[in-house]
Amino acid sequence: MNDDAGPGPGTDGGWEVVVIGAGPAGYAAAIRAAQLGMRTACIDKSLDREGNPTLGGTCLNWGCIPSKALLDVSHKYAEAAGHFGELGIGVGDLSIDVPGMMARKDAVVTRLTGGVGALFQGNGVTALAGSGRLLGNRRVEFTPHDGEATVLEAEHVILAPGSVPIDIDQAPLVPGTVVDSTGALEFDAVPGRLGVIGAGAIGLELGSVWSRLGSEAVILEALDEFLPMADQRIARDALRAFKRQGLDIRLGCRVMRAEPSGDGVTVTYQDASDEHVVEFDRLIVAVGRRPYTEGLLAPDSGVNLDERGFLYVNDLCATDAPEVYAVGDVVRGPMLAHKGAEEGVMVAERIAGHKPLVNYDCVPNVIYTHPEIAWVGRTEQSLKADGENYRTGTFSFGANGRALAANDAEGIVKIVADAETDRVLGVHVFGPQASELIAQAVIAMEFDASAEDLGLTMFAHPTLAEAVHEAALGVGGRAIHMVNRKRA
């Protein structure tokens, strides 16, 4: 551990590693670099609502963590309102305290962002509050929030500025009425009628939060296909489940304009049949995120952008500028906190002379609806499109004892394996605790396990994980707790 935080900012040098951005990618890189004995500074410009510097980036402050806090509360509320009676539990008059829910969310955020600060201090990382700009020759211009710009000399620079929500001209933001994913985490009351533009992970999660609490939620998706990046069977089952829950998901809908109207917003959209006009109390724009590079690069930085606006890097996250790296949402690949964190650690270790790699074939994806959706690796449709020879095994949570006992038995596990080698190529879960179950699949795939390997592994009973075991057995037609399909 490096307990020496090093010199303060200035042109006198002394920094072995300077990181720009303190989200999961940046703070993981900074902490690991310091653990490896390198004098490390991490610059971040984020401020909380009181105007105080905050660490953790979008994930901890305005994304992953606060949204999951609201999802958890709203799920418990929906369970109490709609399902506790089935379990013999009476709850009487049920109500939701939105300010109390938001206060709890904020408390979780404060604890975790403060935790990053404690980790910086404990590992000897110097946190610098302000903006960072990469100049030529690994020099970084640091401008504090309340001071003059200085230049840091670094042996290595890691760029991790993160991403921001995409704005669309058809629906300009109006504070409190037309909001992005950040604004959707700050409603002070449950909207009566809620519109969401975008049926991706963010739109589905935010729509679920407020729908569970009583909003009439309509999700408008421009694509004709629901969750095209997920396995088609999983996507089809999920769409049916979400519609039963009350989410009005409309596919093939292109939003033409959104205009404030009284205390709400009027949205005009076009589908295959006609033009439609709908009224909402609140509208969430959740059409994705883009890399945040504004003000990041000086003309002589030597770092280039690709055609989509991401920082160009090779497989080891090195940019075109010597000893300058980029990680996280600002580079190619899925915008996922865990992917960025692994890249940050990899870069720090490679700077120190180690040779780790990130296995991009084993990046898990999760959508935190209920039931949850999670997957890793190839989908059946991608294998079919490539002409690959594969086999599949599926198992329903409806036949899983733990899921039935918990009154949470909707969904399936699906495993895709190579027909010749039996190597697991992809695992797809729609069901309870899918976000936890997918880790087993990631471990298996990381070690090149076969479906038979998973089938020969002993799983505890009764557990939800037994569904993974049975699906693996099903690949070879050997499932015990379901009737196997006949194979040629």
Fold of 362-475: Enolase-like; domain 1 (3.30.390)
Q: How confident is the model at residue 9 (pLDDT cuts 50, 70, 90)?
A: very low
Fold of 15-165+290-358: FAD/NAD(P)-binding domain (3.50.50)
Res 2 pLDDT > 50: no
Q: How confident is the model at residue 485 (pLDDT cuts 50, 70, 90)?
A: confident
In sequence order, which ranges of 291-428 are alpha helices (DSSP H)?
Answer: 337-351, 380-385, 401-405
Q: How confident is the model at residue 13 (pLDDT cuts 50, 70, 90)?
A: low
Check residue 7 and give its pLDDT. 43
Q: Which residue has the tokens 């910086």?
A: 120
308 Cβ neighbours under 8 A, 6+ residues apart: none
Residues 24-42 have a mean pLDDT of 98
Check residue 299 and give its pLDDT. 97
Angle at 328 between CA 239 and CA 137, to 5 degrees: 160
The answer to whether 181 and 206 are in contact (CB under 8 A) is: yes
Give the pLDDT confidence of 75-128 residue by residue, as tens digits.
999 999 999 989 999 998 999 999 999 999 999 999 999 999 999 999 999 999
The answer to whether 179 and 284 are in contact (CB under 8 A) is: yes
Give the pLDDT confidence of 223-271 residue by residue, as tens digits.
999 999 999 999 999 999 999 999 999 999 999 999 999 899 999 999 9
The mean pLDDT of the chain is 95
* CA–CA distance, 69 with 108 (Å, rounded to integer): 8
Catalytic residue, chosen from 83, 145, 354, 461, is 461
The answer to whether 345 and 356 are in contact (CB under 8 A) is: yes
Give the pLDDT confidence of 384-437 residue by residue, as tens digits.
999 999 999 999 999 999 999 999 999 999 999 999 999 999 999 999 999 999
Residues 436-464 have a mean pLDDT of 98
10 Å Cβ neighbour count for 92? 4
Q: Which residue has the tokens 């609490």?
A: 213
Residue 291, token pair as written in the block: 């890399």
Helix orientation angle between 337-351 and 24-35, rounded to the nearest 10 degrees: 30
Give the global pTM.
0.94
* CA–CA distance, 209 with 190 (Å, rounded to integer): 10
The answer to whether 267 and 258 are in contact (CB under 8 A) is: yes
The answer to whether 237 and 324 are in contact (CB under 8 A) is: no
10 Å Cβ neighbour count for 314? 10
Res 27 pLDDT > 80: yes
Fold of 178-287: FAD/NAD(P)-binding domain (3.50.50)
Domains 15-165+290-358 and 362-475 share a fold: no
CA–CA distance from 47 to each of 55, 104, 134, 329 (Å)?
Answer: 8, 19, 21, 19
108-144 CB burial, b ≥16 within 10 A, e <16: bbeebbeebbebbeebbbbbbbbbbbbbeebbbbbbb
In sequence order, which ranges of 374-433 are alpha helices (DSSP H)?
Answer: 380-385, 401-405
Give the pLDDT confidence of 332-389 residue by residue, as tens digits.
999 999 999 999 999 999 999 999 999 999 999 999 999 999 999 999 999 999 999 9
Check residue 14 and give its pLDDT. 81
Residues 149-157 have a mean pLDDT of 97
For the chain, what are the domain ranges? 15-165+290-358, 178-287, 362-475
461 is catalytic: yes
Residues 459-479 have a mean pLDDT of 97
* CA–CA distance, 488 with 158 (Å, rounded to integer): 53
* CA–CA distance, 19 with 42 (Å, rounded to integer): 5
DSSP state of 318: B
Check residue 487 and give its pLDDT. 58
Q: Judging by beta carbons within 10 Å of its beta carbon (0-12, 13-18, 19+), is residue 323 exposed, middle or buried? A: middle
* CA–CA distance, 136 with 365 (Å, rounded to integer): 36
Res 486 pLDDT > 80: no
Q: Is 179 helix (H, G, I), strand (E, B) or coil?
A: strand
Give the pLDDT confidence of 178-219 residue by residue, as tens digits.
999 999 999 999 999 999 999 999 999 999 999 999 999 999
Res 1 pLDDT > 50: no
